[in-house]
């Protein structure tokens, strides 16, 4: 089973806290609320250079000893990165030695994505290959095709986050989660899919994401709410 740092997901799903501003303060609060892993959103933190990124991560790690995922999200995938694609990926490459995992979009430029994944694996880091759709949920076959593409591109974890427009959408996503043959992170966004953030891990999703403060994705719960809800079901 795949790990992120010391967190072994064969022993249960990881609750990931999204660090989107005031990184040290948010990381400290995430730890107190019971997060297992931190996702460092470079795009939301408006960090565009390597020195600033490395300094921020060093400061964060002095305060909180939790594994970290680095993400620098494209606007089409819900991010705020502004700048050349080469610079976006290079920033992730530069900080690979000091993080435990990296999340790269399935639609990222193929050559840059391939290098990032190759270098990450060369350093023993876990790779998440992600796909987001803020408008709807594709049919089951398409969901499974996306998962396969994410794994084939080198993802240790295939991540899909899609908007639920009906209860059938959430059911299809949970079914695809249950039938997945390799590690997945599956999220149904929006009010109709909010409950999947709690129950998808019980169908096989190895990660679920929560906020520290304001939500950064539709239907996202905060870490404390997420932990409480999951505890009730365990």
Q: Of 131, 146, 139, 145, nearest to 169 (Cα)?
A: 139
Q: Which position among 125, 132, 163, 194 bears the catalytic label? A: 132
Name, in order, each residue with C-beta under 8 angstroms of 125's C-beta and a sequence gap of 6 or more.
96, 99, 100, 101, 102
The distance in angstroms from the start CA to the end CA of the chain is 20
Q: Is 113 part of the annotated catalytic residue set?
A: no
Q: Is 178 part of the annotated catalytic residue set?
A: no
What angle (nearest 5°) sits at the alpha carbon of residue 195, between those of residues 158 and 174? 45
Which residue has 């304001």 as its token pair? 214
According to DSSP, the β-strands at 3-4 and 7-8 are antiparallel
Name, in order, each residue with C-beta under 8 angstroms of 212's C-beta and a sequence gap of 6 or more.
17, 18, 19, 20, 26, 29, 30, 33, 35, 222, 223
Q: Which position among 113, 125, 131, 159 bears the catalytic label? A: 159
Query: With contact defined as beta carbons under 8 Å apart, do 16 and 69 qualify?
Result: yes
SS3 222: strand
Which helix (H) or strand (E) segment holds residue 68: the answer is strand 68-71
- DSSP assignments along 152-165, one per residue: HTT-SEEEEEEE-S
Q: Which residues belong to the active site?
A: 132, 159
């Amino acid at each position: 089973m795949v790990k992120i740092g010391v967190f072994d997901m064969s022993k249960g799903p990881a609750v990931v806290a999204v660090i989107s501003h005031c990184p040290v303060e948010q990381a400290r609060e995430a730890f107190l609320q019971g997060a297992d892993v931190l996702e460092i959103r470079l795009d939301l933190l408006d960090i565009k250079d390597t020195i600033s990124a490395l300094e921020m991560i060093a400061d964060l790690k002095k305060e909180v000893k939790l594994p970290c995922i680095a993400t620098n999200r494209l606007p089409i995938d819900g991010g705020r990165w502004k700048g050349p694609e080469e610079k976006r990926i290079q920033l992730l490459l530069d900080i690979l030695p000091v993080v435990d995992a990296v999340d790269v979009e399935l639609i990222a430029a193929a050559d840059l994505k391939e290098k990032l994944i190759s270098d990450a694996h060369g350093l023993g880091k876990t790779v998440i290959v992600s796909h987001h759709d803020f408008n709807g949920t594709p049919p089951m076959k398409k969901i499974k095709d996306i998962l396969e593409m994410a794994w084939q591109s080198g993802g240790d974890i295939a991540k899909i986050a899609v908007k639920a427009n009906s209860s059938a959408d959430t059911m299809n996503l949970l079914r695809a989660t249950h039938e997945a043959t390799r590690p997945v992170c599956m999220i149904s966004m929006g009010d109709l899919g909010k409950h999947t953030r709690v129950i998808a891990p019980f169908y096989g999703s190895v990660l679920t994401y929560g906020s520290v403060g304001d939500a950064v994705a539709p239907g996202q719960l905060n870490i404390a709410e997420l932990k409480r809800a999951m505890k009730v079901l365990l």
